[in-house]
Amino acid sequence: MPNIIEITDFSAPALDVYARLTEAQLLNREHPAQGLFIAESPKVIERALDAGCVPVSLLMQREHIEGQAREVIRRCGDVPVYTAALDVLTALTGFQLTRGVLCAMRRPKLRNTEEVCTGARRIAVLEHVVNPTNVGAIFRSAAALHMDAVLLTPECSNPLYRRAVRVSMGTVFQIPWAFLESVSQLQQLGFKTVALALREDALDLRDPRLASEERLAILLGAEGDGLAPQTIADCDYTVRIPMSHGVDSLNVAAASAVAFWQLGCVNDAAGGA
């Protein structure tokens, strides 16, 4: 039987995770094993469960208990299911619930670069991308467009921040990711590195030499500033997306989708597929 708990006290400590804890507090850098994240909507929660994430509690509109959240509740076992009417939940959380269902979950143990790159042939690398919306959108494109893993520099927004998880539609649980220390680490693992940068001497993204590389790491930089000059200098290739109508750049999330689409399939150019 599900453990249904009607919300009567907004100040209950069990609800802090949904209403009062900041992303930094949820991350819990001092005690990472105790870190939490919030997954929103049944589809995203199910993808997190499929990836082995451990639920702590659920928060939802009352009507969803026997509706769209029924399977999620079943899969979460006997964890507390906090519930109330929509207007009450909106007052508690401070915003309209996405599809009326939230789940607090334990953060999985972080993987390392070598682990997520094992067997990978195409990976995305994010440098100092601090906007969680962009991080989530890039993950969604990476999962859809044939990237095998995503690596992030430590300055990036964490992929398990609530907005990143929501925008990614749960693909942060489907594609392996880790934090990266240096570009040279990728080259030591056998990847050719591709910097997306607005430089006149850059190769066209459609250059067949890129698609014919056995292992590629595609590097994308911060919103506005792009990749650091030293990062570009350290890469094997510098490329740019050909554009028209005087447009000189794309949002990093849009640029990632174009790059992943062009470079995601291994050896298409060489094999004539």
Query: pLDDT, tens digit, for every residue of 174-198?
Result: 999 999 988 889 999 999 999 999 8
Distances from the Cα of 273 to the Cα of 115, 142, 205, angstroms: 30, 21, 18
Query: Residue 244's CB: how many other CB atoms inside 10 A?
Result: 5
pLDDT the model gives residue 176? 97
Distances from the Cα of 235 to the Cα of 45, 118, 159, 184, angstroms: 37, 20, 24, 9
Confidence of residue 35 (pLDDT cuts 50, 70, 90): very high
What average pLDDT does the segment 152-170 reach? 95
What average pLDDT does the segment 48-58 reach? 97
pLDDT the model gives residue 269? 42
pLDDT the model gives residue 273? 35
Separation of alpha carbons 99 and 55, rounded Å: 18
More reliable by pLDDT, 160 or 84 = 160
Query: For the chain, how are helix, strand and coil distributed in percent, rounded to 5?
Result: 40, 20, 40
pLDDT the model gives residue 96? 54
pLDDT the model gives residue 270? 42
This prediction's pTM: 0.90
Query: Poorest-confidence range of 15-24, 95-104, 180-189?
Result: 95-104
| pLDDT above 60 (res 257) | yes
Confidence of residue 108 (pLDDT cuts 50, 70, 90): very high
